[in-house]
Structure 1
Amino acid sequence: MKALLLMAALLAGSVMAAGIDVLESGPDGMTLSLETPAPVFGLTQLSGGFYATIAVEGAENLAQTGLPRLPVYRMWIEVPIGAEVRTSVTIARTGTFDVPGGSPVEPGLPSVPKSEPRGSCILEFDPSVYIEGQAWPCEWVRVVDAGMMRGRHLALVEVLPVRWNPSTRTVDVLSGAEIRLDFEGGDLARTFSEADRMAADGFERLLSSTVENYGTFESFDGTDSPMGAYLVIVHPDFYATAMSEFVTWKTRSGWPVTMVSTAETGGTAEQIEAYIINALQNWPEPPQYVLLVGDTGFIPGNTATAYSGVTDLYYVCLPDGGWMPDAFIGRFSVQNAGQAVLMAQRLVEYEQWGYSGSGAWLQSTGWIASNDNSGISEGTHNYCIDTYCTPLGYTADKLYPVTYGASAEDVVAAVNEGESMLTFSGHGSQTSWGDMAFGSSDFNQPDNEDMFPGVISHACLTGEYATGTCWAETWTRTPGRGGLWFWGSVPSTYWDEDDIQQRGEYDYFLGQDIFWSMGFLNGGKLALYAYYSGGGSVKYYFEGYNLMGDPSAEMWTWIPAGGIPMTMNVTHPSSISGSGPVTVTVAGALDDAIVCLWKGDEVYERGWTSGGSATFYVEPETTGTMLVTVRRHDWKPYLGTITVNGTGTGEGPGGPVPLSISCPNPMTSGGALTVTGSGAVSVEVFDLSGRIVARPFQGEMDGTMSVGIDTGGLASGVYFARVVSGDSSASARMTVIR
């Protein structure tokens, strides 16, 4: 492809930041500003013809087959459940430019499967634009309704600032404008309540990294949100003993685990799906992670709709008509209890750093490219390496057959030396990577015990877990070698879609610090959705790529200054005499360590540190041992104990009851605040400007009490309720709607 770049004349006006910015946002809508720099024209050759390319700083280009590939600014937003988004544009400045040479604008190319050369596609053209000469797009702004994800109604806003006029061979540029997005209709009360009910730390961090107006309908963020629960569904053959270590570790990590057998859920896909959907809809703490234990001979795959085959996606999609996941799902695709124990132990040892050696191997990443169309696969790898890995101090093993003559032997050697991540882009089959003939029959060669990478396989069929022992299963359930988890596709895949998804995965992983497996892997799917405006093969990809492994697996990431793993300095009481507050302090931490106290069915408290410490009020019913766990990213987990010497009111740590306050969200005409504390306290309500608008309680308290509040005199909006006692305070967000 040849490109001849021609710079257009500069638009009039001062130079401002390119793209769209949020001017204001609220429950009723958003106001955006648009600044579009001068377009850059080029020329490209496709199927023997010449077409104009148009680029704008900070913008992507549309990728819809047959429509002009014009610049687009995109933004994910959250809207009220059931609402529609009405758009209006107040134009500030426009400009008109001739298309150099009068060439037609390049069209969006059809998807090309990896079984064919990338350039083999037949061009398609929208007749209303390319034959009838209709100007396109008709509207400057469009909104794609993406449906529901984890109790949030998502939409993709696309601003198209360049309009092509085929009949005059010109483009109109919307160089400056104010854009209004009005949320019409919908159920605000349900929107607030569902956001709170479904809040879970992993999804909050993913959503807050993605959604521009995140926080409008949430009372939590990724540092103070509930942890969410963990649901493990196991075939009876593996239920009794195979998963006990895994369940214990995940419970200690802060997720209350429910493990059930398919004897309880039912063994068909429909019965398993119904059980999970009921948990998402009705459990007080809906699971945010779901793990299926057993291959399809024990736990069937669900049914895909975009291809003929299996998918696990629809096990975790609520019946709202969409296909965005409402929980993170993975599978231990095992055939016997021994394989289940192996996969569970591999994960626990990795996260606890139960290794004797250093973590130096985590600095290395491996990248395997294809033989044909190597410009695409190598180009994508190089982009991820240069953009995300090299700046963080990672090294890269470029296992490229074309550029460096890499072979399967080179891949084995690199894996045996240790790779933190191994990413493949090319051809595959159910049992192999095809570009260097590396398959199941060769898998006796790797020897990477205690150095297990996350494996991303952008290739056809390598995740086809309904057939025999697929390549994904070979990597994850073979003793002494393989990967921590494997991300692969059930059906055949496409060149461009694999490229876009991989870039998105690494953007969320190392660019946006989403460190757990299904967090950044789902981020790649969101990037794919945005790039193709929710159309094309997007649904096919959402269904097709499945995880063989733990969806909550937290990946170690390289830290040049400190190495991996670092060791925490944690202090807490060695013993307590009964009920009372327990403070756990993590030296050097701020709000980034998760602390969990666990004593059977008597005590289960967990939460994030605030200023380096976390305090919990515990009420053990018996003497014995209480487990203390502290996790902080890239630090070796702290595993300690507190001896419980007595029950009742303790004399150990002593001190006042920790302050806390919570409230129902949203509030309409009134409600009650739940306040915990001791001594003289004051409960206040203030608006976003800091003005106190109510003081519903002042006085003495000891323990927990309800404080009524009348919101009749308050306007709709966001407020904060605060309890103050001496130098201590606690607050909670409160939303009032009319």
Structure 2
Amino acid sequence: MIHKTTPNGLLAIFATILFLVAPMLSFSQSATPKKTAISLVSDNGEATVMKFDAGAMGQKTVSTPAGEALVITMDDGTPILKKGFPDLPKLTASIIIPDEKNMQVTVTESSYTDFENVLVAPSKGSFKRDVKPSDVPYEYGTAYQEDAFFPKDIAEMRDPYILRDFRGQTVIVYPFQYNAVTKTLRVYSEITVTVSPKEKGEAINVLKRHVNSDKIATEFQNVYSSQFLNYGSDIRYDHMEEEGNMLIISYGTFMDEMQPFVDWKRQRGMPVEMVDIATVGNTKTAIKSYVANYYNTNGLTFLLLVGDESQVKTSSTNAGDSDNDYGFISGNDHYQEIFVGRFSAQTGTEVTTQVNRIIAYEKTPVDDNYFSKGICMASNEGANIGDDGEADYEHEDLIREQLLGYTYTEVAELFDGTHGNVDAPGNPSDNMLRDLVNAGAGIIQYTGHGSTTSLGTTGFNNSDVGTLTNTTKWPFIWVVGCSVGDFRTTTCFAESWARATSNGQPTGALSSFMSTILQSWAEPMEAQDEINLILTESYVNKINRTFGGLSINGCFSMNDKYGNNGNEMTDTWIIFGDPSLVVRTAQPTSMAVSHNPTINPASSTFSVACDVENALAVLTVNGTILATAKVSAGNAYLSFDALANEDPLTLTITGFNKSPYIATISVEQSSGSHVLGDVYDVPGHFPALADHLGTIKYSTTLIDLGQEPKGISPDANNLFSTGIAVYPNPFDQITSISYYVAADAAVTVVLYDQSGREIKRLVNNEMQVAGSYQLTFDGTSLPVGAYFCQVIIDGKPQVEKLFIAR
């Protein structure tokens, strides 16, 4: 351990902070403050080593009964919030731990500096937003009479939790310790810890794995990347990625209105099952049991409840009413295994409103760039008490900057008070918000006060929502505010946005995240920070696109950082809308897609060329999912069992900020051969090419669509039994080259221009097993004209002509 003690005077901390420790306190920061870095040193499946490098620290001076005192903050830190104890920040990170072992954390290395004669203010603790921070006094507790450092230990862990496929645990590190009697502030610049199994002690929240637990839903793979520091390096288990599924529990009368929603979700690749609440039983115990059994039997990613509270009961925890409680399935913790949402409706018409809004947003987005416009709203309160020590408006101003640094082009400020920038003087009104929403906003963020039927800032209420006319321009909304989602006994503010219409057309919002109880000041601000950091891709390899995934990822971060205080907020924050909604942050653009317009009923594969990596391609027939595949290296390969009939297929491709591509694929049984090429005498027509390809005479390429490819009809001197297919042909940029290998053989595939010059070697004498193959050729950089593809299988060449036309 390295340490030093610094007396009164001008102090350097972390090479970026200067302190003047005296009755009047001040500091200055460099233009580029150091960022906190939490890094994984090693992970062998049992023990994990982590390093915490403390970033820039800050201080604010507050008046207390003992005089002027410091409130300490730091980059990426969150306050301990222990009332009456020194107000100091902490750092946290979650890791994957072994399924059934009791773990311990050990500090293996640290470096600190002591600063003397420093008065640190006591924390006011955690309290709800119906209490004004200025009304809560600073009270010096018992820690200020003890000649000892607080916190006692610089590292500890919260209880283990189960998050679906993994058992996790949060490590807490305290970069600051304070001895109130000696007035010594100890500041750590770096701390390295090791988390390892204990030899003794009973483990809690152990994870019992299912036999078929080798697949991870795509949405949760994204969550794990954000949640666990060691997820990418975890060597405990091998997993495959799969698309998530949805269970809908609906009030029986609403099931017909929900069917278009079910059909669309299946068309875009999500397995969906809908059940009547009468089958489940309309009690929270029955619903919770049914969902847990379904999860354990079928796997489950999204749960959608359809109906108001009396029609489909909400659950509850000690914190209050909680739909999220249905997602707490494995372990005794507050980390959900599934994403839960609700279409709150009292009539079939209100269900249809929510269904139509979601389908239109995902399937047929309007050509109006409202998607990249946003609104940030905030109160004028919370200074020194909010997360990161921020007032509400400071917090929202930072979110606004994040959005503008991403894909958003305009983000309005509606802040109470006068704060400069683009914030107008005075307090914003309900008319200001109404005009912005009607003009088009893709996202709305709020931090402030609220009630069951209104927002504090602007005063916007249920009646105002009813006057909206944004019939094709719907935002998604995240609210930090009290009781705006308290829907059990009245029509709450969140429900008014979900049910809103104008002349029978949906207005209001797509999905919103609003609380059933009074929210606290700091804790939900942390969740909102994390939501926006992930939304704007501020992390490397931490991306989430669904409203449910974004919202709950934020809650997980809040749980990590604030423990039980965060758990209360997680329990009672409700998604009013579709948790699987794929959000848009910019005007959707088209994808370049090419594929065969028909398919042979005997086929079991179908290929698609697409210019959007990771776009999801889906084949469905009569509302049933046939196959799904992600686009990789410009292609998606869909595999399925032989078709049962000749009903047409639907191909649907979706991607982030892309308009869906939808096409009908005809199923055709051919009794003869189709022409895929022309007759060439290569030496006679292209003498230069003959030097490379040899003297090859061949006739038309013939493929019998009713059977396996029979190949090119050769002359007697060039006998081979495979064929080449090029689609599309002609093409302007990208085409697919398919060929068939009858038996294991060495294969070479080369592209030439008309002069015989080699353009590209796609396969170079590789051994390939018998079967069908498909390659992608990108001719974007080539001029228009004719080219030749030579495929040599087991020493036997064949040639197909390609045409680039623009």
Settle same-fold status: TM greater than 0.5. Answer: yes
Distance across 1 between alignment mates of 2:357 and 2:34: 52
**Deviation at residue 159 of structure 1 after TM alignment:** 2.0
2:63 to 41, 45, 48: 45
Percent of aligned pairs with the same residue? 21
1:521 to 530, 551, 558: 551
What are the Cα deviations for residues 493-512 of structure 1, in whole angstroms up to 9, with x where unaligned? Answer: 22223433322221222235
Distance across 2 between alignment mates of 1:414 and 1:164: 48
Residues paired across the two proteins, number? 643
Are 2:216 and 1:199 aligned? yes
| Aligned residues of 2:133 and 2:382 also touching (Cα < 8 A) | yes
Are 2:381 and 1:381 aligned? no
2:115 to 86, 98, 119: 98
- Equivalent residue for 2:165? 151
Change beyond 3 A, Cα 1:106–1:586: farther
Change beyond 3 A, Cα 1:10–1:333: closer
Distance across 1 between alignment mates of 2:547 and 2:578: 8
Secondary structure of 1:580's aligned partner: coil
- Equivalent residue for 1:432? 454
1:454 to 467, 476, 494: 476
Give the greater-gyration-radius structure (CA). 2
Are 2:468 and 1:442 aligned? no
Distance across 2 between alignment mates of 1:440 and 1:37: 44
- Equivalent residue for 1:332? 343
2:307 to 279, 282, 294: 294
Secondary structure of 2:519's aligned partner: coil
- Equivalent residue for 1:557? 585
| Aligned residues of 2:481 and 2:519 also touching (Cα < 8 A) | yes
Distance across 2 between alignment mates of 1:131 and 1:195: 56
| Aligned residues of 1:110 and 1:122 also touching (Cα < 8 A) | no
What are the Cα deviations for residues 59-111 of structure 1, in whole angstroms up to 9, with x where unaligned? Answer: 554334343333433222111223222222233x6444233x342x2333222
Change beyond 3 A, Cα 1:549–1:699: closer
Q: Given the two structures, how large is their TM-score scaled by the length of structure 2?
A: 0.73
What are the Cα deviations for residues 683-711 of structure 1, in whole angstroms up to 9, with x where unaligned? Answer: xxxxxxxxxxxxxxx997779xxxxxxxx
Change beyond 3 A, Cα 1:654–1:398: farther
- Equivalent residue for 2:282? 267
Are 2:660 and 1:637 aligned? yes
Distance across 2 between alignment mates of 1:588 and 1:6: 61
Are 2:428 and 1:412 aligned? no
What are the Cα deviations for residues 611-647 of structure 1, in whole angstroms up to 9, with x where unaligned? Answer: 1211122321111111111111001011112112359
2:11 to 8, 11, 22: 8
What are the Cα deviations for residues 303-362 of structure 1, in whole angstroms up to 9, with x where unaligned? Answer: 23123xx2101112115211211100100001111111111110010011343xx23112
Distance across 1 between alignment mates of 2:628 and 2:395: 40
**Deviation at residue 225 of structure 1 after TM alignment:** 1.2
Q: Given the two structures, how large is their TM-score scaled by the length of structure 1?
A: 0.80
Secondary structure of 1:579's aligned partner: coil
Are 2:379 and 1:370 aligned? yes
Distance across 2 between alignment mates of 1:16 and 1:338: 54
Distance across 2 between alignment mates of 1:579 and 1:602: 18
Change beyond 3 A, Cα 1:678–1:373: farther
**Deviation at residue 387 of structure 1 after TM alignment:** 2.8
| Aligned residues of 1:488 and 1:545 also touching (Cα < 8 A) | yes
Distance across 2 between alignment mates of 1:361 and 1:317: 36
Distance across 1 between alignment mates of 2:377 and 2:79: 28
Unaligned runs of 5+ in 1: 559-563, 657-676, 683-697, 704-724, 727-738
- Equivalent residue for 1:494? 520
Are 2:611 and 1:588 aligned? yes
Q: How large is the Cα RMSD of the aligned pairs?
A: 3.5
| Aligned residues of 2:370 and 2:442 also touching (Cα < 8 A) | yes
Change beyond 3 A, Cα 1:278–1:45: same
1:70 to 88, 108, 125: 88
Change beyond 3 A, Cα 1:61–1:601: closer
Distance across 2 between alignment mates of 1:368 and 1:700: 61
**Deviation at residue 606 of structure 1 after TM alignment:** 1.0
Counterpart code for 1:448: N
- Equivalent residue for 2:417? 402
- Equivalent residues in 2 for 1:536-615 (5 A)? 537-558=565-586, 564-590=587-613, 592-600=614-622, 604-615=626-637
Secondary structure of 1:636's aligned partner: coil
Change beyond 3 A, Cα 1:171–1:609: same
| Aligned residues of 1:232 and 1:292 also touching (Cα < 8 A) | yes
Distance across 2 between alignment mates of 1:614 and 1:43: 59
Unaligned runs of 5+ in 2: 1-7, 16-32, 384-389, 419-423, 672-703, 711-721, 723-740, 747-766, 773-792, 795-806
**Deviation at residue 489 of structure 1 after TM alignment:** 0.9
2:368 to 343, 353, 359: 359
Secondary structure of 1:297's aligned partner: coil
1:33 to 37, 46, 51: 51
Change beyond 3 A, Cα 1:580–1:33: same
Distance across 1 between alignment mates of 2:56 and 2:433: 46
**Deviation at residue 176 of structure 1 after TM alignment:** 4.8
**Deviation at residue 29 of structure 1 after TM alignment:** 1.5
- Higher RCO, 1 or 2 (CA under 8 Å, sep at least 6)? 1
